[in-house]
Structure 1
Amino acid sequence: MGERLPSLPALRVFEAAGRLLSFTRAAAELNVTQAAVSHQIRALEQQLGQPLFRRSTRRLELTAAGRLLLPAAASAFSTLERAVAELGRARAMLGITTSPFFGARWLAPRLARFAGRHPDIDVSVRHTQAVLDLAAEGLDLAIRSGRGYWPGVEAELLVPMDLVPAAAPAVAARLGPDARTAIAGATLLHNETREEWADWLRVAGLDPHLSEQGPVFDDEHVLVEAAQSGQGVALVAPGVVAKEFEAGALVEVADLAIESCGYYLVYRPGGLDVPKLAAFRDFLMAEAGRGAPPPRRAWGKNVLPPGAKML
């Protein structure tokens, strides 16, 4: 066993007094009395068995032992201060997860505004299609697509995903004024499955079996790019591809939307008690123009509301 280390308060007092070469200034810096500084230095010298300062009426000097100890004490406290600062930054780090498509199209363009309003909160975004367990992954919040029912979490609708048929302007022009009917002869672009187009065709009064043709994309980025490049007609959520609509790269080709799932803010019960999460939630809701609706209550494990499906 090595020598027992002196107390941290005594070393802190010594570091300040040695750096400033003044008990008076050390007391002022540490917000204690000069008598308290003298007491701590005497106790430290007694424990070490040797003097650390040479005192005179006009000046204070370090002894050889003091000169040896001071840089070590200063380095130790500097290391501690950096570690504590890192812990503080970690507490202010907000860990979230979302899909690559939503992260790139909707979330990323808004993060700079959040940083400007909350410079004390850093955001770490993990992009994945998987539904992650927030507690197990150490995450604060998720943005998930679905119907809003996941066991054991709170979910609030952020961006609805009503789907409309959209295409490049040239493709829309070829469809003509009766685009709803003309879509039956267009190339349909699918996102992972053909079910959404089957639903749209059914609502439009067209043959849902027409959805059995056309390429299928497992990446929404590629689906949107294919539509923009004139390869066919895709079902898209206007709130997520607003940039493409505003730029004229995509246009809505028929005035019929179908209800789909939505993008939801998901967090553990009581999550809004954490200031950084509450600040981020309020910011995103304001960005989405959804105000502050009450959170959807958490449904118990394996218990879903009537008519809901497990996602």
Structure 2
Amino acid sequence: MRMQLHPSILANLRCFEVAARLLNFTKAAQALNLTQSAVSQQIRHLEENLGYPLFVRRHRSLILTDKGQALFECASRIFLDIEQTLRRLEPAEAPLQVNCLPSFALQWLMPRLSDFQHLHPAIAVRLKAEFQTLDLHAMQADDIDVAIRFDPGQYGNLQAERILDEYLMPVATPKFLSEHPAFAAGQSLQGVTLLHDATPWSGAPEFIEWRTWMEAERPDWLAELGGIQFNLASLVIGAALNHQGVAMARTALVLDEIKSGRLVKVFDRLVPSPAHYMLLIQRADDRRTAVFSLWLKEECHRFSDERRQLLLI
């Protein structure tokens, strides 16, 4: 008996395609803005209508059956074709969807966007700040044209370009350093609170940025590695500005604070970060994307020159 493709089956197929791609119902639920139970229920309904299982469900893992794999490959092609067709049918100057990490958006990109708008008034930009891990499917599903990420990873199915290297340096307020002269002189961590970005990138080891700097500059301090962790680098900077401790900072996020004197680079030498800023592009043939990408790379180049002069990298 032939199964009828009524709307609920199509919705179930979309849910299945995402779950099969991620091999995780919880991640699929997050991607689809559904609950985990809703995803499980939709896939169960699809399996009941089809009359055979699509997944082998194991403890904390999913495996596609042979029929599930065949259906996933077909559904993936169909949904990708639909998404690409919808993109081609969009108005030529639809807003450019830019996706960026929150702290980089707040501290670096947002203050520069007015310059881009002045130079290119015909290209409207919609900036969305979030942590989402990206691949080609995720960018297409969320209608992302351009993304900026900070990590040491690879992006096999996206056009990815390294646009800015990063350096790590401890920073604090002049007031905090005056109250902790032994630390300011590089002699002791006693009484000093270390401030950490808990997730500088997805899957980053705990304390990775302070650890990287200490291993290069002060390995004798590693036994005292600890402190307060925040989920945003901007919160780390805010805590430092409020004299709460010493932040391990990325130059792109604090150069303006260094220039104003609100924060001080505690020690002379900067340490290269294990991560860097990546530009991710869904469609290289999009004129808006090309214009924005060129402008962004020019801004990164200007920033690198200013950073070199100010911090003597």
| Range class of TM-score, shorter chain | 0.5 to 0.7
Distance of aligned partners of 1:149 and 1:180 in 2 relative to their CA distance in 1, 3 Å threshold: farther
Which residue in the other structure is 1:278 paired with?
290
| 1:265 to 2:270 alignment | no
Q: Does the Cα contact within 8 Å between 2:100 and 2:147 map onto a contact in 1?
A: yes
- Cα distance in 2 for partners of 1:118, 1:285 equals 15
**Residue in structure 2 matched with residue 233 of structure 1 by the alignment:** 246
Tell me what 1:202 maps to.
215
Task: Determine the C-alpha separation between the residues in 2 that align with 1:91 and 1:285.
Answer: 22
Amino acid at match of 2:280: V
CA apart distance, 1:177: 8.0
1:215 is aligned to 228
Question: Which deviations, in whole Å up to 9, do the C-alpha atoms of 1:195-221 show, x marking residues without a partner?
Answer: 221222222232312113x11111222
CA shift at 1:148, angstroms?
4.8
Partner of 1:149: 154
Q: Distance in 2 between matches of 1:202 and 1:93?
A: 45
Q: Does 1:190 find its partner at 2:187? A: no
> Do the aligned partners of residues 152 and 183 (structure 1) sit closer, same or farther apart at CA in structure 2, a change above 3 Å counting?
farther
Name the CA distance, whole Å, in 1 between partners of 2:157 and 2:240: 38
CA displacement, residues 84-142 of structure 1 (integer Å, 9 cap, x when unaligned): xx953x63421110111111111111111111111110011111111232122111110
Aligned equivalents of 1:247, 1:290: Cα separation in 2 = 19
Where do 1:1-311 residues align within 5 Å? 88=91, 91-132=93-134, 133-176=138-181, 179=184, 181-182=186-187, 184-185=189-190, 186-192=192-198, 193-204=206-217, 205-212=219-226, 214-260=227-273, 261-268=275-282, 271-289=283-301
Following TM superposition, by how much is the alpha carbon of 1:178 offset from its aligned partner in structure 2, in angstroms?
6.9
For residues 287 and 271 of structure 2, what CA distance do their matches in structure 1 show?
37
Contact 1:165–1:235 (CA<8 Å) still a contact in 2?
yes
What is the DSSP-based 3-state SS (H/G/I as helix, E as strand, rest coil) of the residue aligned with 1:206?
A: helix
TM-score, scaled to structure 1 = 0.60
Q: Which sections of structure 1, spanning at least 5 residues, go unmatched? A: 1-85, 292-311
The alignment yields a C-alpha RMSD, in angstroms, of 2.3
Q: Letter of the aligned partner of 2:165 in structure 1?
A: P
Deviation at 1:258, TM superposition (A): 2.2
What TM-score do the two structures reach when normalised by structure 2? 0.60
Q: Is the 8 A contact 1:142 1:267 kept in 2?
A: yes
Write the letter of the residue equivalent to 2:168.
L
Aligned counterparts of 2:172 and 2:195: Cα–Cα separation in 1: 10
On the 8 A contact 2:93/2:122 being kept in 1, the answer is no
Cα–Cα, structure 1 residues 198 and 87, in superposed 2: closer, same or farther, change >3 Å?
A: closer
CA–CA separation in structure 1 for the residues paired with 2:164 and 2:185: 25
CA change 1:116–1:237 in 2 (3 A) is same
In our comparison, the structure showing a higher alpha carbon Rg is 1
Whole-Å separation in 1 of the counterparts to 2:166 and 2:188: 21
Distance, in Å, in 2 between the alignment partners of 1:239 and 1:126 is 19
